Chains A and B, each alone.
Chain A
């Protein structure tokens, strides 16, 4: 029974307008394939990566700074070469992409939750709250998000002792990047909430005596969440870049938990001695990831925009 229903759902999804426009767009299919490949590589890193970069026993300094396998002196055990500690670049990139994706996705989810809740409140809970929240959002939008994230990170760095800080750095980054990106979500949700709140179904829900919280969460929320999905995708690309930038600047993830940005930072030290692969391969992975997410976001925005149909 449930299997039949699931099959029916799949069939309906494959028959939908969205999937049709997806199939028709070669860019979307290509970028989805690239994103899928990168995400799979990142998620399955512990299972499929050729080496474990965190397993210190397996590291051999004799293997350090080997060039990629297709160059002279490279070995096929390390297809993309090794870094200064003899870690396999390919495995490092897979694990790094895993951390980059985790931080990026969590940060955007955090921004979505904060932004959606505050946006609903601003749109539904009256003018005083609306004015206050939107003024805060305005002030924050005056500054580039990366500066805000940098500042939040800096303040937390100053407030907690160094040894504690290293352990919680991932969460600090998620918080800093998330908090720097909430106003856009709040503005979008507020805009559509202002439209929805005057519709008949909200009136009806109010008449039967539902609480404001219930009306906001189970009646208005499903009707305003659509545009959030598009901004989610586009913000994800930005958040991953934010994290990479912070880590590159040396105020992000430490070398013990290397994200793609940290790997590029490490590689930057070897640029002048000719070991370009330590920088370039993580850089390529980062660009491929961000590019495919951005292209998918662009496509989604156009596909969900009724005016363009």
Chain B
């Protein structure tokens, strides 16, 4: 087990280095930071001094190493668009994105899981068929269209829920803000969370259903029946538990998709998170923000992949045996 964790960690390092390299290359080759920082009037001496101060006269790999070193410490330079340190910009947007993503994930699990179990167990009921049709719609609707439809229904049509912003937020500690503690904050969260979670919800539902149907066909379920266990204990004790293995993997990997599509959701609802910041930066080619976001996302993804691998490893005993025998064979 420690060897496994170590090998996964070692695999993650090149990914981060490569992404860091791309982020740095964007810095170095796209646009000219010296030009941007000097503005209109400057002398050649000033220019050379600034180049020296920024360390741009040093060899490429030295600069890259310095960039990565600063990045590790959380320094990404100054946003071209907002003229403020990128780290501060990201820190103040982070809580909004995290709250939205976590709510969407919890929502998709809390609704998707029972729906999947229900459609597998009562396969022929009308409600189950209704769920399946609903899931087909959920999978083919692009995220931004879901958001627009929800706004049209609940904000424009019924006027129940707000269509943009985070509502009233409460400050906790130095830099964390939360919308969970005010009524308007929770109201503002509902539509974006549904928008972001809908695709995941339908995916989890279909996955749980398919896996559960598969498991219900296996021999040990038949044996459990032969032993005279109750229907309830067979379905929820035996079958559901074994359904969870692939579900954990997919849900984990889909967390990455939640992060990616929080970009879209945040744009539709003008949600003041990192995704909206990134989109606004892409529009005006604000490279420091883009590369910081890129690095941050890379870290998030590497961590997610690592955690999923570990969970998988912990949940499925077969994997441990296969892996050790494969290593012995090599």
Contact = CB atoms under 8 A, between A and B. Distances in A.
Interface stretch (A90-98, A219-227, A248-256): A248-256
B31 A158 contact: yes
B30 A147 contact: no
Interface string A231-250: 00000000001001100111
Nearest to A159: B30
Interface in B167-214: none
A294 to B, nearest CB: 6
Interface in B1-55: 14-15, 18-19, 26, 29-31
Interface residues of A, number: 36
Given A158-B285, A249-B267, A274-B156, A244 B15 contact: no
Contacts of A272: 155-156, 163
A74 B148 CA distance: 23
Given A142-B305, A249-B267, A290-B140, A157 B282 contact: yes
Nearest to A142: B301
B279 A249 contact: yes
Given A147-B297, A249-B267, A271-B152, A157 B140 contact: no
Interface in B41-97: none
A139 interface: yes
Given A142-B305, A158-B287, A290-B140, A151 B148 contact: no
B314 interface: no
Interface residues of B, number: 44
B140 A271 contact: no
B142 A154 contact: no
A286 interface: yes
A294 B140 contact: yes
Contacts of A268: 148, 268
A161 to B, nearest CB: 11
Nearest to A158: B285
Contact of B279 (A250, A276, A286, A294): A250
Contacts of A147: 260, 263, 297
Interface of A: 135, 139, 142-144, 146-147, 150-151, 153-155, 157-159, 241, 244-245, 248-251, 264, 268, 271-272, 274, 276, 279-280, 283, 286-287, 290-291, 294
Given A154-B285, A287-B140, 17 more contacts: A139-B14, A139-B18, A139-B19, A142-B298, A142-B302, A143-B297, A144-B261, A147-B260, A150-B263, A158-B26, A158-B287, A249-B267, A250-B279, A264-B144, A264-B148, A283-B149, A291-B136
8 contacts: A142-B256, A143-B256, A144-B256, A157-B283, A158-B31, A250-B279, A264-B144, A272-B155
